[in-house]
Homo-oligomer: A and B are copies of this chain.
Amino acid sequence: MNTDNYPSRLLEAATSEFASLPGIGKKTALRLVLHLLKQDLADVEKFSSSILQLKKEIRHCKSCHNISDTDICNICASAKRDHSIICVVENIKDVMSIENTHQYSGVYHVLGGIISPMDGTGPGDLNIKSLEEKVAAGNVKEIVLALSTTMEGDTTNFYIYRKLQKYPLTISIIARGVSIGDELEYADEVTLGRSIANRTLFEASFNGGKTG
């Protein structure tokens, strides 16, 4: 269905706002808008205000740059977390992913992106300076690099490594290897090669690779 003939300018405006979201085409946008139009006014007001309120009131944790309702996020404020281990991630989704594994009890540092000359993102655009300040202040024993395995991720890892190598701490990187449940014959060569080169002691695999 072509969607050029809107019977209403208001409908067209709302549809085009939804169609500006990533992965939402004109057809889906129209479907979503018509769905909302069928809801009660109170529900539409709740929908509409939820996103505006988020945008207006959201804060970034002053310590780890994760988004938060408060100046210091729950993780950074928690006495149960090990503040001497900092896991460096690209964005808040990565924090949520790692939190969901329940395998990590340190704190985080959200870079807000990775170094990508193609997208015009340089080290100055990322939260790297504040990471170095945290490390320079002492009390940090380990930095765990958990960025994407892409050229940009590798570049960023190396940049951070160069900045921090003068400090007395361990810089580790999350293990790369064959995914659990994957069959070897379907693993790509680079991953399989890396998983052989970085093989670990069989006994160490008993504790599920827990860290922190």
Chain A: residues with CB nearer than 8 A to chain B?
Answer: 1-11, 13-14, 17-18, 20-24, 28, 30-37, 39, 41, 44-58, 61, 66-69, 73-75, 91-93, 95-97, 99-100
Contact = CB atoms under 8 A, between A and B. Distances in A.
Nearest to A45: B52
A18 B50 CA distance: 9
Contact of A10 (B7, B13, B21, B58): B58
A66 B11 CA distance: 12
Contact of A100 (B1, B66, B67, B74): B1
Contacts of A55: 36-37, 39, 41, 44
Nearest to A49: B48
B31 A23 contact: yes
A34 B69 contact: no
Contacts of A18: 51
A35 B22 contact: yes
A32 B37 contact: no
Contact of A2 (B9, B46, B100): B100
A1 B58 CA distance: 22
A20 B32 CA distance: 10
A7 B92 contact: yes
A61 to B, nearest CB: 8
Given A1-B96, A56-B41, A33 B11 contact: no
Contact of A73 (B4, B7, B14, B91): B7
A17 B47 contact: yes
A68 B8 contact: yes
Given A31-B23, A37-B58, A7 B49 contact: no
A93 B34 contact: yes
B36 A1 contact: no
Contact of A54 (B14, B73, B92): B14
A42 B53 CA distance: 13
B51 A7 contact: no
